[in-house]
Amino acid sequence: MAKQDDALTAELEDGVEGEEETQPLELQVQVESPSACERHISVSVSRGDIDRYLDDAIGEMMPMATVPGFRAGRAPRKLVEQRFKSELGEQVKGKLLMDSLTQISEEQKFAAISDPDFDLEAVELPDEGPMTFEFDVEVRPEFELPEWRGLKLNRPVREFSEADIDEHLEGKISRYGQLVPSDDPAAEGDYVTVNTVARVDGEVVARDEERMVRVRPVLSFSDGRIEDFAKSMVGAKAGDKKTFSVKLTHDAPNAELRGKEVEVEFDVLEVKKLKLPELDEEFLGELGGYKTEEEFREALKLNLSRQLEYEQGRIARRQITALLVESADWELPPGLLKRQSSRELERAVMELRRAGFSEAAIRARENELRQNSGASTAAALKEHFILERIAEDQNLDVDEGDYDAEIMLMSMQSGESPRRVRAQLEKRGLMDILRNQVIERKVLELVQSQAKFKDEPYELPKNEVEAIPVAAGGRGAEAIPEAHEDQGPEEPGKPRYEKG
């Protein structure tokens, strides 16, 4: 008898497997659009679907259900249903919600860019009638794809001279130089170790100690700038105090002080001069296995070419999106902008690292983005929406080889193995940012391949900004998270000096 039961069970299971097709839910869905990027969705799940899911759940539970007075799997169905009503209800509710959301995402025209926001506890599985729930979701705005072929674009070009390479060389090897304490007054390009105190109406709002800062024309905080930093700091000695006024940006982390003036006082502890290393055979080998100075200079020229390529892409992106977003006057939800701020920082940092920029240049760009996080994030999101649409229209996608190539470039710049770089990206959940970065670059290359260019001279950026990861007005409660945990070879404000 047992063998017959087993055979019958197997036959029934085979029949179910052969017919297995997901039966769609009978959903009533209402979609409201509070804004271009927001949808409020109300859903009603039919009673028939609820009963069907309950019946399936009870059927799955029956062979294992343990009820006092009965052997496992032998209790009457009604008794099992009554005894496990709560557990069955939660199980069915969860499955109906998941399947409903999946079906809605497949049937609706909008493209969600965030997880649904709804209160799971507020959803109830009724004894009678349909199950209803509602949720909010952020979506990519709907728009007509603008004409992107044949755009007229400006393109920066430059033939790099020996003088360009000399300047780039000094920047590259300075991180390996030796800082030597000096009793001489600080000159532009020197380093000063300072304690910093920021005050508003005499009250301390931020404090930073023993920060090593390079004397540059501009000192950039994450929430403001000192435009005449070198002008006042040149000539300073240990024991001197220098005071500046910093106007905080309207995106400063400390919301209470946005747009206000902060008095920042620097107490100079020490002045140091930078002694650059000699380009001898040993040092060239440590830099990357270079055998001659000429070989090193050729590598620097290639690095400058990558930076020019980055600048060409950045300018092209700005021009392209400016032409394409004329009708992109979408109102972006504040919550979306706030969440995307840190991701835009991550994207910008990854692009700069790929292009071979120094950590000092990257920090300056980070601070620039932080100082205008709302506007820069809104612009980047609009750009991404349009570039993503073009990618879909042209069937552009990312394959494993694209990831490998990007990670290889990043590893070359950081000095870490590709395996370690990938592990760090995956650990911090940045692979989707890398994917977006590759997709956007492919779209820009496609657009540029069909554009008409007007070449214009490219001016190399000057090292005029010293950036430190400090908020002059304090972090406050709405601080944007740091763009990355690992600052790379150079520690902010405290460069790594390895070779004298």
* Residue 44, pLDDT score: 94
Evaluate the CA torsion angle 416, 419, 425, 427 in order and state its sign.
Answer: negative
* Residue 141, pLDDT score: 86
* Both tokens assigned to 440: 């956007």
Neighbours of 438 (CB within 10 A): 19
Q: Radius of gyration over alpha carbons of the chain, in Å? A: 30
| pLDDT for 492 beyond 60 | no
* Residue 2, pLDDT score: 40
pLDDT range class, residue 382, cuts 50, 70, 90: confident
Secondary structure of the chain in the HEC alphabet?
CHHHHHHHHHHHHHHHHHHCCCCCCCEEEEEEEEECCEEEEEEEECHHHHHHHHHHHHHHHHHHCCCCCCCCCCCCHHHHHHHCHHHHHHHHHHHHHHHHHHHHHHHCCCCECCCCECCHHHCCCCCCCCEEEEEEEEECCCCCCCCCCCCEEEEEECCCCHHHHHHHHHHHHHCCCEEEEECCCCCCCCEEEEEEEEEECCEEEEEEEEEEEECCCEEECCCCEECCHHHHHCCCCCCCEEEEEEECCCCCCCHHHCCCEEEEEEEEEEEEEEECCCCCHHHHHHHHCCCCHHHHHHHHHHHHHHHHHHHHHHHHHHHHHHHHCCCCCCCCCHHHHHHHHHHHHHHHHHHHHHCCCCHHHHHHHHHHHHHCHHHHHHHHHHHHHHHHHHHHHCCCCCCHHHHHHHHHHHHHHHCCCHHHHHHHHHHCCCHHHHHHHHHHHHHHHHHHHCCEEEEEECCCCCCCEEECCCCCCCCCCCCCCCCCCCCCCCECCECCCCCC
pLDDT tens digits along 16-32:
444 456 788 999 999 99
pLDDT tens digits along 213-235:
999 999 999 999 999 999 999 99
Average pLDDT, the chain: 83
Count the alpha carbons within 13 Å of 259 in the hemisphere toward its beta carbon: 2
* Residue 74, pLDDT score: 64
| pLDDT for 261 beyond 50 | yes
* Residue 334, pLDDT score: 79
- Cα gap 432→331, rounded to integer Å: 24
* Residue 493, pLDDT score: 37
pLDDT tens digits along 91-111:
888 899 999 998 998 888 788
pLDDT tens digits along 171-207:
888 888 899 999 999 999 999 999 999 999 999 999 9
Looking up tokens 């710049």 gives 413
| pLDDT for 472 beyond 90 | yes
**What percent of the chain is predicted at pLDDT more than 90?**
38
**The pTM is what?**
0.70
Question: Please, what are the domains in the chain?
Answer: 23-138 (3.30.70.1050), 152-170+290-457 (1.10.3120), 178-275 (3.10.50.40)
* Residue 181, pLDDT score: 95
* Residue 490, pLDDT score: 40
pLDDT tens digits along 46-66:
999 998 998 888 777 777 767
| pLDDT for 146 beyond 80 | no
**What percent of the chain is predicted at pLDDT more than 70?**
87
